[in-house]
Amino acid sequence: MPHGFSYSVLSRIASGLMIELRIRAQGPAECGGRIRSRILANRSRHFGEHGQLLEFLADDVVRFIIQGKRCQMPRDEKDILIKALTGALSEDALLEVLGIAEAHVVEPLPTELDTWKQQVDMLWRMKDGALFHMEFQTTRELTLHRFLLYDARLAYQYHARIRTVVLYHGNVMDATDVLNIGTAHYHVENVYLGALDGDAALDTVAGHLGVNIWTPADRWRLSLALTMKLTRRSRPEALDAMLDLLHQVPDEQERNFVVAGILGLTERILTDAEHIRLRKELMQMSRLAKEILEEGREEGREEGKKEGSYAKAVEVAKKLLADGMPSQKVALITALTPDEVEIIRRQVL
């Protein structure tokens, strides 16, 4: 851990951040970006003595919050999405597009790591009984200790062999794929989406649709094109092309497979404006998208109600602490945890 900070310190920092800012996002990547920017903008005001070092710890705090499931995609929304992705992954379509061979998945599995309070990105059982574990990264993973920990827990939970594939977005073109800890030799498969040709992927799909051809690989060419390298199209032009081609996919099930790929993978790297436009367009052309996004909105409304009550509890706690009431009694009255009350007390006094 950088600068000698323990996870207990990160926990206090993370808890304070979420109390004050209550960040909500559609997925870990979007959430991480928002948290990181707010950490740097508010480090002195919110974190006092830790403020100066927080810039160096931003990535660790972001990872801690995301791994603690404080800003994951709503569970029902993710369940629907991963079931749809299972259909899209059921053939060797990924081999032709991404070089991932023999990913014969048959059943989605829960992404929560049993009682560990952590979560992997996506997980399936394969035809041979092994697990197919997929992670998505927008930054280079410096070591593989985190993924090793995930897979060790999955192995303990399922008593099965595990295959882990890491999809790297953006400009990451090289990352470690081996970790030797002496007693174990750990290996993952890295796929660098930024090294693939997004323009060629869109051109191939357009050519196929123009002569009434559609292949399983076209699902992934179309859904992942925006995550690949673009040299002949701008991002807005590529988004226009992707949506136009999606409208032309004649089979509703295949269209749903593409939608699942877009919402599960590509949406993580979009700007806010692209995100809003994409979701509006997808809801108009896909019943699956409407089901997924409306499920997320409903859970968001429920979460909003809870956060409103939470915000009131924080305000009450601040007033009671300012009046000199003991922290233990404040926790009892407001139903906040002792740790939350302690963080508020430090900010008030």
Q: Which CATH number do you get for residue 190?
A: 3.40.1350
Q: Is residue 111 domain-shared with residue 174, that is, in the same domain?
A: yes
**Predicted pLDDT of residue 34:** 52
- Confidence check: pLDDT of 149 > 50: yes
pLDDT in tens, 249-261: 988 888 888 888 8
For residue 132, what are the contacts with CB-CB under 8 A and spacing of at least 6?
89, 103, 105, 123, 124, 125, 126, 163, 165
Mean pLDDT of 323-341: 80
Residue 265 within any structural domain of the chain: no
Mean pLDDT of 181-186: 95
Q: Is residue 52 domain-shared with residue 124, that is, in the same domain?
A: no
Q: Is residue 121 domain-shared with residue 63, that is, in the same domain?
A: no
Structural domain ending residue among the three candidates 48, 72, 96: 72
- With vertex at residue 27, the alpha carbon angle to CA 120 and CA 238, rounded to the nearest 5 degrees, is 115
Structural domain ending residue among the three candidates 176, 195, 214: 195
Residue 248 within any structural domain of the chain: no
Residue 90 within any structural domain of the chain: no
pLDDT tier for residue 71 given thresholds of 50, 70 and 90: very low
Whole-number average pLDDT of the chain: 76
Q: Is residue 55 domain-shared with residue 108, that is, in the same domain?
A: no
Q: Is residue 108 domain-shared with residue 188, that is, in the same domain?
A: yes
Residue 12 within any structural domain of the chain: yes
Q: How many CB atoms lie under 10 A from the CB of residue 131? A: 21
**Percentage of the chain lying above the pLDDT 70 cut:** 69
**Are 104 and 126 in contact, with CB atoms under 8 Å apart?**
yes
pLDDT tier for residue 295 given thresholds of 50, 70 and 90: low
pLDDT tier for residue 167 given thresholds of 50, 70 and 90: very high
Mean pLDDT of 178-187: 95
**CA 142 to CA 177: how far, in whole Å?**
10
Least confident stretch, 62-71, 183-192, 199-208, 258-267: 62-71
Residue 274 within any structural domain of the chain: no
- Confidence check: pLDDT of 226 > 80: yes
- Confidence check: pLDDT of 210 > 90: yes
**Predicted pLDDT of residue 148:** 95
pLDDT in tens, 105-139: 888 898 888 766 678 888 999 999 999 999 988 88
Phi, psi of 248, deg, nearest 5: -85, -10
Q: How many CB atoms lie under 10 A from the CB of residue 278? A: 20
Q: Is residue 110 domain-shared with residue 156, that is, in the same domain?
A: yes
**Predicted pLDDT of residue 276:** 79
Q: Which domain holds residue 329?
A: 298-349
**CA 45 to CA 229: how far, in whole Å?**
39
pLDDT in tens, 4-47: 444 444 444 444 444 443 444 444 444 555 555 555 554 444 44
Residue 64 within any structural domain of the chain: yes
**CA 278 to CA 274: how far, in whole Å?**
6
CA distances from 39 to 11, 62, 82 (A): 14, 9, 31
Look up residue 165 and give its two tokens.
């594939």
Residue 290 within any structural domain of the chain: no
Q: Which residue has the higher pLDDT, 61 or 322?
A: 322
**Predicted pLDDT of residue 79:** 64
In this structure, is the dihedral angle defined by the CA atoms of residues 293, 137, 98 and 170, taken in order, positive or negative?
positive
Distance of CA 284 to the CA centre of its chain: 24
Question: Which 3 state secondary structure label does DSSP give 270?
Answer: coil
pLDDT tier for residue 75 given thresholds of 50, 70 and 90: low
Strand intervals (E) in 45-121: 105-108
Mean pLDDT of 283-308: 61
Structural domain ending residue among the three candidates 173, 195, 217: 195
Q: Is residue 13 domain-shared with residue 59, that is, in the same domain?
A: yes
Question: Which 3 state secondary structure label does DSSP give 186?
Answer: strand
Number of domains comprising the chain:
3
- Confidence check: pLDDT of 217 > 70: yes
Residue 86 within any structural domain of the chain: no
Q: Is residue 68 domain-shared with residue 7, that is, in the same domain?
A: yes
- Confidence check: pLDDT of 172 > 80: yes
